[in-house]
Structure 1
Amino acid sequence: MSLFRLSDVSFGYDPATPVLHSVSLALEEGENLGILGESGSGKSTLLRLMLGLAAPDDGVIEADGSVLDITSRRRMQAHRRFAQPVFQDPYSSLDPRMRIGKALAEPHAALGLDGDVGQEIARVLQAVGLPQDSTARRPRAFSGGQRQRIAVARALIARPRVLLADEPVSALDLSTRVRVIDLLSDLSQEVTLVLVSHDVAIVAALCPRLVVLQHGRAVEAGATADILSDPQHDYTRMLLSSLPRLPRPEQETAR
């Protein structure tokens, strides 16, 4: 059973201007999926639909074996345990007035999760490599990379089966990107990752399967290694030749 299955999904914020056109994809457990495309290709919109923040105009989204009905409060409560987001900007994803312990405790209470909240906070801080005394500090006390780790920890509180990450390193400096990518790689041993990115190298490093979006259409899909070595669509070839790539560690050190 697929974790997610999208069948001919179309969507537009304005009915006269569709953003997604008949997109189909499947996410299998343990097989990270990359969604690659330029700005405006519909990547983030697709992730919003998978999070249940909007419903498709046409087509069907199935998550965890059943249709995702965003009008059902009970269904959405279960979905928020099943799939959690990690957004692009670590500075805006945390309340600057709230201590980290409270920020991590919030989703535990909101989702009605079992287990001792203190133990769960300790678990997720350890998972993202942050000290336990982080709970007493506010976001301004942390670097951008540390804030993104806190955002990941907040998502992990729910013990989700899927992390939906929207350009999770694009707001970070190059050295910090590498560390956050390593973190996501480690976490993907336990949780399946959907990664939206415009960066070919990040997708290649984390995702064995790939969907390429152009103007809201899936123009190519399959094994990442096959697509990168032998792209079939002109748009994919253009992306591979022109989009920025994450420098290798030795390149970064030489700067």
Structure 2
Amino acid sequence: MSLFALDEVSYGYDRAVPVLHGISLRLDQGQSLGILGESGSGKSTLLRLLLGLAAPDSGRIEADGSALDLRARARMVAHRRFVQPVFQDPYTALDPRMKVGRIIAEPHAALGLSGDAKAEVARVLAAVGLPADSAGRYPRAFSGGQRQRIAIARALIARPRVLIADEPVSALDLSTRVRIIDLLADLARELTLVLVSHDIAIVAALCPQMVVLQGGRIVEAGETRQILRAPHHPYTRTLLASLPTLPQQGRPA
């Protein structure tokens, strides 16, 4: 059973102007997926559909073995447990008026999760490499990389099977980016990652599978290593030639 299965999915913010055209793909357990494409290619729109923030105009989306129906409250609560997002900007993703512990615990209460909330906050803070006393501080006390770790911890508290990350390191400096990539690589051993990034080195490091979007259509899909070695579509070749890459240097997480 696939984690996600999309069959001929199309969507437009204005139905007269589609953004996505006939998208079909499958995401299996443990096969993290990178989504590559220029601005306006439909990447973020595709993530919105996967998160259940919008319904397709046509086609079908299955998640965790059943149809994704935004009108069914119980189904969507289950979906919020199944998949959690991490967004691009850690500076705007966290409410500055709330302490970190409360920020992280929000999904625990909203989704009716079992277990002690404080213990779960401590668990996910440890999972992202932050001390337990971080829970009592405000976001302003943390660097950009630490704030992104807090955002990842908030996603992890639901114990999702899929983590969807939209350009999760693009707002960070180089050394911090490397450490967050290392963290995501560790997490990808336990859950499945869907990653949007303009940096092909990040996709190659984290995602064994990749799709390339152009104008809202998938023009290439398959194993990341094979696509990088021998891209078939002219757009893919042009895109790979023009994309910036992350220097190949590592730091401990």
Instruction: Please say whether Structure 1 and Structure 2 have the same fold, judged by a TM-score greater than 0.5.
Output: yes
> Counterpart of 1:105 in 2: which secondary structure?
helix
Partner residue, 2:3: 3
Separation in 2, partners of 1:227, 1:115: 43
1:68-83 alignment, distance < 5 Å: 68-83=68-83
The aligned residue for residue 172 of structure 1 is 172
Residue 64 (structure 1) aligned with residue 64 (structure 2):
yes
Identity of aligned residues (%): 74
Rounded to whole Å, the distance in 2 between the matches of 1:49 and 1:162 is 14
Unaligned 5+ residue runs, structure 1? none
| Structure 1 segment 1-40 matched on structure 2, within 5 A | 1-40=1-40
After TM superposition, where is structure 1 displaced by more than 3 Å over at least 4 residues in a row?
Answer: none
Shift of 1:135: 0.5
Q: Deviations over 1:105-141 (max 9, x none)?
A: 1110000000111111111000000011100110110
Question: Which residue identity is paired with 2:195?
Answer: L
Deviations 1:16-59 (A, max 9, x none): 21100001111000110001001110000000000000000011
Question: Is 1:242 aligned to residue 242 of structure 2?
Answer: yes
* In 1: Cα distance, 2:17 partner to 2:90 partner: 30
The amino acid of 1:86's aligned partner reads V
1:161 counterpart = 2:161: yes
CA distance in 2, matches of 1:177, 1:52: 28
Per-residue CA distance 1:151-207 (angstroms, 9 max, x = gap): 000000000000011010111111111000000000011110000111111000000
TM-score (structure 1 length as normaliser): 0.97
> How many residue pairs end up in the alignment?
251
C-alpha separation between the residues in 2 aligned to 1:16 and 1:152?
A: 36
Distance 2:213 2:155 in 1: 26
Partner of 1:85: helix, strand, or coil? strand
SS in 1 for 2:232: coil
Tell me, which stretches of 5 or more residues in structure 2 are unaligned?
A: none
SS in 2 for 1:249: coil
RMSD: 1.0
- Greater CA deviation, 241-250 or 229-238? 241-250
Give the secondary structure class of the aligned counterpart of 2:175: helix
Cα drift, residue 249 of structure 1: 1.7
Question: Partner amino acid for 1:118?
Answer: K
Measure the CA separation in 2 of the matches of 1:87 and 1:12.
21
CA distance in 2, matches of 1:95, 1:165: 19
Instruction: Give 1:239 deviation, angstroms.
Output: 1.0
Q: How does 1:84-233 map to 2 (within 5 A)?
A: 84-233=84-233
